Amino acid sequence: MGRIVFAGAMSHVLDPDYYDRACGELGRRSVVAAMDEIARMGERLSATNPDALIVVADDHLNAFSFNCVPALCVRIGRRVQRMVQDHAEAFDKVLDHMPTEYPLHEALGNAILEQGLAAGFDLAMSWEAPVDHAFLSPINTMHGARPIPPLVPIFVNAFVAPQPTARRCFAFGQHIARVVAQSPWKVGIIATGGLSHFPELSLPRVGETDTVFDRRLIHWMETGEHGPLQELTADELHKTGSHEFLNWMVLLGAVTPARAEVRYFGELPRINLAAVEWRLA
């Protein structure tokens, strides 16, 4: 019988130069401290010798353009490629030094997809979507030079309204847990993004965060109170700049009722950086 052997969530622009440009020396110091904790989380993940790593993250209009924006999409196939961007700027630039191709756990991806459709989740599938910093920055920070386990990338539409609801993301996470439990594999799962930044996706408001809201989310995760989290509305997430918390909701559904332990929380003008790990039974 399979099980989830590691669960963690973390911010996903893990680039000292980016935060130096955005927030100065404090930004650099903060993200380096966050990355140190995320690297230690990666060591604990590797110690479980997982068969697969599920990565729940969002696309930033890189993989999916305006031909289709899936609410929830399982990236299937045997390999996934890094997003390619010429003359990359801002958060895209973090990808420049990373490996260009990663193995997938084809059987687990197919199981989540096929059993999901059978269970009533109208999931999208992709054989070709590349992955951007939301996926690759955390997994490379976690693993450093160690091998990265076969991945199952799962895309959540965090930004293009209308998004899936927090409750639906949580339910999808519960589905993932059921699939893993019926499988023969030891599986790690991470969710990426956040915490609050870019409220209302408004350029003049870049630089604002909502620390009160973030601390409320953290409190509920630490105490295992997942009911209020499922009540979060699209409007709340949009106004506070917590769009990417939908990724975390999938993970919460997969590990509920486990409680979270905060490994790092740091306030910056641009974003509140976070790294969180769950105590699994």
The residues that touch another protein, with contacts defined as CB under 8 A, are 60-61, 65-66, 85-92, 159-162, 198, 201-204, 206
The single residue listed with the structure tokens 């390619």 is 84
Q: How far is the CB of 191 from another protein (least distance, A)?
A: 18
And the tokens for 7? 């669960």
| Residue 182 or 202 with smaller CB distance to another protein | 202
Q: How far is the CB of 59 from another protein (least distance, A)?
A: 9
| Residue 84 or 280 with smaller CB distance to another protein | 84
Residues in the chain: 281
Q: How far is the CB of 268 from another protein (least distance, A)?
A: 15
| Residue 197 or 226 with smaller CB distance to another protein | 197
Report how far residue 39's alpha carbon sits from residue 138's, in angstroms, rounded to the nearest whole number: 9
| Residue 39 or 206 with smaller CB distance to another protein | 206
Instruction: Give me the sheet containing 124-126, strands edge to edge.
Output: 124-126, 72-75, 151-156, 52-58, 186-192, 3-10, 272-279, 259-267
Report how far residue 198's alpha carbon sits from residue 178's, in angstroms, rounded to the nearest whole number: 34
CA dihedral (258, 264, 7, 109) in degrees, to 10, reads: 140
Q: How far is the CB of 162 from another protein (least distance, A)?
A: 7
